[in-house]
Structure 1
Amino acid sequence: MQTRDEIFATLRDAMVELFELDAERVTLTANLYQDLEIDSIDAVDLIDHIKRQTGKKIAAEEFKSVRSVSDVVDAVYRLVNPVT
């Protein structure tokens, strides 16, 4: 199991590496598209990275509703910690 804090730290590191962002800009409240200037191709790269890290595929439909870094953390948390 991963906590939301662990997921956020991993996600922040990935976004810094993949998109050359300053780590300070990647906050839970940051909007992916407006604050971090992530476009649809970047979003696909991020989904692919999440898949490689977790071994699980995040549904593209679920990612469409994602707007903030916090939304991504929540989506990944649900992916790696399914309700039983």
Structure 2
Amino acid sequence: MQTREDIFNTLRDALVELFELDPASISLESNLYQDLEIDSIDAVDLIDHIKRQTGKKIAADEFKAVRTVNDVVEAVYRLVNPAA
């Protein structure tokens, strides 16, 4: 079972690797679109990366609702820990 902290660390590493972001600029409160300048194509790349990491796909409808890094962490947490 992955903790929220594990998911955040993995997600932060992915954002740094995929989009060349400064790790220090990424916090749970960071807005993906405003603070980190992730666009819709980047979001698709991020969903694909999450799928490769977890073996599970976040539903597009669920991802449309995410705004912050914490929203992504929570979505992935629910995905990998369905009983939680």
Same fold (TM over 0.5): yes
Name the residue aligned to 1:53: 53
Provide the rounded CA distance (Å) in 2 between the counterparts of 1:57 and 1:24: 27
Give the percent of matched residue pairs that are identical in Structure 1 and Structure 2: 79
Letter in 2 for 1:30: S
Q: Show structure 1 runs of 5+ residues with no match.
A: none
Name the residue aligned to 1:43: 43
Cα displacement (A) at 1:83:
1.6
The number of equivalent residue pairs is: 84
Alignment TM-score, normalising by the size of structure 2: 0.98
Alignment of 1:1-84 (within 5 A): 1-83=1-83
Secondary structure in 1 matching 2:32? coil
Runs of 4+ aligned structure 1 residues displaced above 3 Å come to none
Alignment TM-score, normalising by the size of structure 1: 0.98
Q: Show structure 2 runs of 5+ residues with no match.
A: none
Show CA shifts across 1:35-83 (max 9, x none). Answer: 0000000000000000000000110000000000000000000000002
